[in-house]
Structure 1
Amino acid sequence: MKVIGILGGIASGKSTVASLFRNQGAVVADADQIGHQVLRDEATKHEIREKFGSDVFQIDGEVDRRQLAAKVFGGDDLSRKRLAELEKITHPRIKTRLQALIQATMDTPGGPPPALILDAALLVRAGWSDICDNLVFIDSPLEQRLQRSRQRGWSDSEFSAREAAQEKLKEKRELSDYIIRNGGDLVELDQQVEHYWRERVLSPTS
């Protein structure tokens, strides 16, 4: 089983590509979803409360992700310091869960699937790329990415702040083994995913 990491800029279509890989027979590990699970962990919440205060929590005691994001994605030096503190709390826990999921998938009765796709926004920065066999970069035009982020309810300044918190696109592209271009329609994107799956995953020489 190959572990394939998906790289790309904010709103580049990484999750869409991961879903198309799922249609080919891959298992998808969504680091964002796992991150949400980690934020519900009592030990994680305790550390976050100590570092960021009670105002980043909802009445029910769960982390208010919008309030927390507002503190760490401000774009200034204080926000960057807070982001680093949050990552120290969450990233090791997310990696542990990712590794457990990979192992469980490899131990699937009847044999593992051909590939597990790791969809993680901070794949390289968090040190999760070292558990991947290959890295695929999703190349999408800036204006399309901005449009998708607006559909999520993000302002352009929030988009810029989140993008700045990640690795440079040039660095991600250079680290990748393969590029999938997401500038057309879904059919074209699916064809590229199918080609990669056939040539790089199912091929005995890949």
Structure 2
Amino acid sequence: MFSETAAHEYLSRFQALARELQINLVPGTLSQLHPTATNGLPLVNVAYWIDRTGTILGSYVKKNLWHPERVRYAKGPAPHAVFETEFGRTAFLICWDVMFAEPFRILSSLDVDLIVVPSYWLGNDGDGQPHNPDSEREFLRHALPTRAFEAGAAVIYVNVGGDPEAGYIGMSQVALPLVGVKDNIVLGPTDPPCVVDLGPNWKQVLADAERVYKIRADRAGDEWHY
């Protein structure tokens, strides 16, 4: 996460990098000046998808704010949405959004294939409770595959890494319905950066999950009443 208000300068650099390396790039999130701040909250937290040509294909302003963020950040006003990439129908969520099933269900109703979740989630975020010092890791271990099953989509969760003594827990992972955490890959706080391949048949996994569970069909039916 870049806590810089000169976000457009960084964004243009990342666009140039994606173009140079011919890669799709999600550069974490950028803190930007709120374009129409009227409530004293000067910033918004934004994720961008940059394609191989350096073109921005989609963006998302974080909607669910962790309570310490609310003194500086404004909530994203736009509805959750999908955008097209070479991987299919793609969407962003950011960090604390993972706590809530609703955004995943909304994206599922939009036939999303891939949900990318940049995150800055520390192990000491739950300080002050005496029940389980490992509570944040425990949540992330279970929530991401659950959200993938609920949404019928691939979920790529990318968390910040760093010194465990400073609270960094990693837990970056790729989750798929039916599969769970892909190949049991759960990156730790000191793991080197790596690229995780979804595999050639990940879209078939999504199709098989819907065939088996029919979650999207059920939600679209007249009998769905929640």
TM-score (normalised: structure 2): 0.28
User: Which structure carries more helix by proportion?
Assistant: 1
TM-score (normalised: structure 1): 0.30
Q: Which has the higher relative contact order, 1 or 2, with Cα contacts under 8 A spaced 6 or more apart?
A: 1
